[in-house]
Structure 1
Amino acid sequence: MASIQYRPIGHTAKDIAADVETAVRDGRLSPGEPLPPVRSLATELGLAPGTVAAAYGQLRERGLVETRGRRGTFVRPRPPIATRSQPQPGHAGALDLASGQPDPRLLPKLNPGPLRHRSPAAAPQEFVLPELREQARDRLVRDGVPAEWISVTSGGLDAIGRVLSAHLRAGDTVAVEDPGWPNALDLIATMGLRVLPLELDAAGIRPEGLTRALHAGARALIVTNRAQNPTGSYLTAERARQLRAVLGDHPDTLVVEDDHAGELATAGLATLAGATESWGFIRSASKPYGPDLRVGTLTGDETTVARVEGRMRTTSGWVSLLLQQLLLNLWTSERTGTVIRRARHAYDDRRLGLVSALTDRGLSATGASGLNVWVAVADETAVVTGLLAGGWSVAAGSRFRQRSAPGIRITVSNLDLAQLDRLADDVAEACGSATNAATGGYSV
């Protein structure tokens, strides 16, 4: 276990929790750092172990820390609190293959276009632009998603949080993909919800795993339809049929679908929409059109959409109609459509080319859709460090994993085709040998 420099102080569980939170906020305690073991801290402070355990429990409920079995309690990689510590510097000279963001060279121009006589100085009379609602409905229906009720949120993660909060309460269990999207895992933690990880294969989560999760009390399921982060898997039509059969026996399960790649995905869309009484299907604009375009479209059952929209009216109010108009202009632009199609094929060429190059070198690599390639490795830290020395910055799999086997995520956005072979050689060298990575991929 790593050495522990920071020692919390306090006489009550509330005091200890507040001291830890302050230490995270002012930078004395960094993300990923361990907290002292419960019994040793209790002895040091002259308190009962139950008092320290209660403090750590409060911090877990707020999403500030996580317990890693016998290894102890650690500050979460992204604790939900503003800090005064300096941002982590970038790796000078290394190519960014870690951030997960789209290639800026492949994004369409964000042209506001006509504003339809709407003044940004006036509060809107409508929550969703009628033209945007109709465009969203048409696009979803073409993809086989029932879309009678449409709303908009401030991006995909905002929509996921709002749908979960519309039905769940602290302590409820959410079944999630493993490995999965760290932002969603952080969100679930801050909401006081419990995570139940589900294993993946190339076709998505497995029906037998979902069955076990639902019997174990999971009240909700989050699924990535395409471009799953980090593995690149996508839900096939056959797997969707199998999952629908499982969900049919649990109609009170909340199903949340995240189609974040949207128009960038070449894989066909298979959906679980409508398989249960409560569901939400989310598509954000960030990956195809740009990370700063914080608009997500949401459809679902009437109750879910009404609750989300009603609570937004009492908090953020509405998503800017100027942003909605911008997204509408992009959707209806022929030129933008051409740019998106070009980006889609460029990402496919980079991703599939890298998977092929890695596989040729005996590595276990997957990436059927989206922006990422997942590579199974024996030692994440050694591989990430070795690649950084070679000028490549990749993401360690520990950010994404719950119980699944080690790996690294490589985002292909900033890669050129001419770099694929050199990168694959460097990954193989960093792994030590091809056999180190042949551990069965991301299926556990």
Structure 2
Amino acid sequence: MATQYVITGATAKGIASSVERGVSEGALGPGAALPPVRRLADELGVSPGTVATAYQELRRRGIVVTRGRGGTVVAAAPAVASRRPPKVPAGLRDLAGGHPDPEWLPRLVPPSQLSPGARSHRGTPRLARLEEAVRDWLGPDGVPTEHVTFAHGALDLIGRLLSVELRPGDAVAMEDPGYHHLLDLVTALGLRTVPVAVDDQGVRPEALHDALGAGVRAVVCSPRAQNPYGGCFSAQRRDALVEVLEQEPDVLVVENDHASAVADAPLHSLAAGGLARWVHVRTVSKFLGTDLRWAAAACDPTTLARHDGRLLLTSGWVSHLLQETVYGLLADAGTRALVARAEEAYAARRSALVRELGARGVGAHAVSGMNVWVPVRDESDVVNGLRSYGWWVAAGSRFRLASAPGVRITVAELEPVDAARLASDFAAVLGESEATYGG
């Protein structure tokens, strides 16, 4: 029989530490309710104000959230402990991870050009030839490239910028459904998420307008291969979004082009719209290798100064060894050809599943990238149902704020020949679910 975790402490700091310890050790899991302020105060013999201060600190640090009359509960992804995804059960085909197909990734060979000894990395944090390669990469897509910088991946860059630009309690407009690690990151920084609905063309202008009206100080969005919905900006949608954003020039717009070379969609960047505060970030993990924790970013001069100033005070620079590896791959003709074939393969696999699902009356969303979003009524029923057929997919709850339920299927390793079987099994599971609910 499970024993209820007992919160201890005589001060706000002590109470907060006790709750944090319970969360990090797993005794207080996501969604676990904390005692009401007055009740816990009586149990501990402290004032209600002391408990309220402890809860406020825990909320600020992204460990708990308050749900109005629902009370204070442990956050879905608390900013302590390890939150690895659940292990794929033995014998199941994994379509939940969101990872690229290893077959389409180049072989990583660290460069040997770097000699041993000390170098002034802080004085020259970016390799000049990689900077030029980045400009050649971004420029043809209409992204202004006067100011570029590097980071240890998109999450690293976005987290650094939000921590510099915003303060705990500030609001950030986030895609809904959206990338779960970004949603977790915003919460962990003590910021508030304001959901912005998406469709097959990405962020919806009216939803963004409402978020700006709610006072958000930053917007985080994906111009293509939106994860998990698979949408991408059309030229018309990009223009409509720029028109909305021009009304709030002080809002920082973060554009996360995470799939870029394998998105199978043209880029219609918000950065090309003349915004005052913006950053366009690209990573290479989806097409060069998941171990290459590197990102390139183009941005306005104020954003560049703030990002690089904070970078200088922390890690200082991105490893030159990593930069040399990325440059060697970007400059290699064989690698570019491999990436082009990967883009074609992912497009074929994505289209095959959407087509097969549609043929069985199952609607799905995916016009770019390597994920397919399928709206469902009950996520658990579908995930568990597909498990019985040998498939493992991601429940949509990890990606949602206020949007309707769904499941995400990663098609990177799903050959078109297997799409028909998965679609048939999916339709069967939906049929069984409908029968359970009485149609």
- Contact in 2 for aligned 1:174/1:193 (Cα 8 Å): yes
The unaligned stretches of length 5 or more in structure 2 are none
State the one-letter code of the partner of 1:310. G
Q: Which residue of 2 aligns with 1:260?
A: 258
Q: Which residue of 2 aligns with 1:330?
A: 329
Give the alignment of 1:375-414 within 5 angstroms: 375-414=374-413
CA distance in 2, matches of 1:320, 1:424: 44
CA distance in 1, matches of 2:106, 2:7: 49
Name the SS of the counterpart of 1:386 in structure 2: helix
Q: Which residue of 1 aligns with 2:244?
A: 246
CA distance in 1, matches of 2:328, 2:33: 48
CA distance in 2, matches of 1:345, 1:86: 31
CA distance in 1, matches of 2:228, 2:97: 11
CA distance in 2, matches of 1:400, 1:87: 13
Q: Which residue of 1 aligns with 2:20?
A: 21
- Contact in 2 for aligned 1:17/1:56 (Cα 8 Å): yes
CA distance in 2, matches of 1:47, 1:391: 53
State the one-letter code of the partner of 1:162. R
Give the alignment of 1:32-431 within 5 angstroms: 32-38=31-37, 40-42=39-41, 44-45=43-44, 51-68=50-67, 70-82=69-81, 88-115=86-113, 117-119=114-116, 121-124=118-121, 125-273=123-271, 275-431=274-430
CA distance in 1, matches of 2:288, 2:360: 35
- Contact in 1 for aligned 2:61/2:188 (Cα 8 Å): yes
State the one-letter code of the partner of 1:161. G
Distance 1:295 1:416, change over 3 A: same
Name the SS of the counterpart of 2:321 in structure 1: helix
State the one-letter code of the partner of 1:29. L
CA distance in 2, matches of 1:155, 1:381: 32
Name the SS of the counterpart of 2:386 in structure 1: helix
CA distance in 1, matches of 2:53, 2:409: 39
The unaligned stretches of length 5 or more in structure 1 are 437-444
Seq. identity, %: 49
Aligned CA-pair RMSD:
2.3
Distance 1:89 1:39, change over 3 A: farther
Deviates more, 1:423-432 or 1:323-332: 423-432
Distance 1:319 1:391, change over 3 A: same
Deviations, residues 108-142 of structure 1 (Å, cap 9, x unaligned): 11123452x44465443411100000010111111
- Contact in 2 for aligned 1:163/1:256 (Cα 8 Å): no
State the one-letter code of the partner of 2:162. L
Deviation for aligned residue 1:431: 2.2
- Contact in 2 for aligned 1:163/1:280 (Cα 8 Å): no
Deviation for aligned residue 1:49: 5.1
CA distance in 2, matches of 1:130, 1:389: 53
- Contact in 1 for aligned 2:64/2:73 (Cα 8 Å): yes
Deviations, residues 20-72 of structure 1 (Å, cap 9, x unaligned): 11112223223444434555545544555554444333212111123445544
Deviation for aligned residue 1:287: 0.9
State the one-letter code of the partner of 1:349. A
Deviates more, 1:47-56 or 1:212-221: 47-56
